[in-house]
Amino acid sequence: MIASPVALVTGAAHRLGARTASRLHERGWNVIIHYRARKAEAEALVASLNQCRPDSAMAIAAELDRDQDLGRLATDAVACWGRLDALVNNASVFYPNPTDEATAADWDRIMHTNLRAPFFLGQALLPALRASRGSIVNLIDIYSERPLPDHPLYCASKAGLAALTRSWARDLAPDIRVNGVSPGAILWPGGDAAINEQYQQSILAKTPLARTGNPDDIAAAITFLVCDAPFVTGQILAVDGGRSLNM
């Protein structure tokens, strides 16, 4: 019996990460659901996936801004099924921090989660990914190229991740493919990062398809790059309804 390929998706307890893990699972992959604090949601997702196909999903908690947790996450992920075929760096921190108000703590939180963690987690998983001739997909953002006002640290972190994606695509070839997906308006942010209705409408007015996307749009793009694009590397796919044409 051929063993199922295995994917680790960070920040996969909810939103885009959960849908991506589910989509890969639908394609026959075993999935590792990384989470930080959303234990109940992660365990519920794992239970649902395992009900569909036994022993096909597991959850691992880790703080991505802690080096020891990154190392443990990498080790535990490979130990789940003895292999790893894809890493999806989905976990991200997003909130406004105008330049005259941003703190060193803001810098550390955003840069560590959005850029440092993907690098060092990917580094720790290189042996497993090379052994499987696997792939990495990084979740970037259309704001990595045309910044969002009052979000300099977030935009810088995603621009760095875009550069890392292209650098890795060269450095890790031919054994590992590395690509990125840049979402546009998919799910409006909540909590402290929430944006008002007027600004939402201004975003949609600049989007040629005149609507938001949905998590399936991102999950499908990631799944394509992981499963169906063996000759694609170093590419960053904008899934934004055309908004990057009008930003």
E strand or H helix at 32, and its extent? strand 30-35
List domains and CATH numbers for the chain. Answer: 6-245 (3.40.50.720)
Look up 154 and say whether it is catalytic: yes
pLDDT of 197 over the 70 cut: no
pLDDT of 206 over the 90 cut: no
Spatial CB neighbours of 163, under 8 Å, sequence gap ≥ 6: none
Q: What is the pLDDT of residues 104-160, one digit of tens each?
A: 999 999 999 999 999 999 999 999 999 999 999 999 998 898 888 899 999 999 999
Say what the pLDDT of residue 73 is. 98
Pairing of strands 30-35, 135-139: unpaired
Q: What is the pLDDT of residues 15-58, one digit of tens each?
A: 999 999 999 999 999 999 999 999 999 999 999 999 999 999 99
pTM of this structure: 0.92
Say what the pLDDT of residue 190 is. 53
Q: What are the C-alpha distances in Å from 108 to residues 88, 117, 136, 184? A: 22, 11, 24, 25
In this predicted structure, which of 71-80, 82-91, 106-115, 178-187 has the lowest mean pLDDT?
Answer: 178-187
CA distance 227 to 165: 18
Catalytic hit among 95, 143, 154, 199: 154
Q: What is the pLDDT of residues 145-168, one digit of tens each?
A: 888 889 999 999 999 999 999 999
pLDDT of 1 over the 70 cut: no
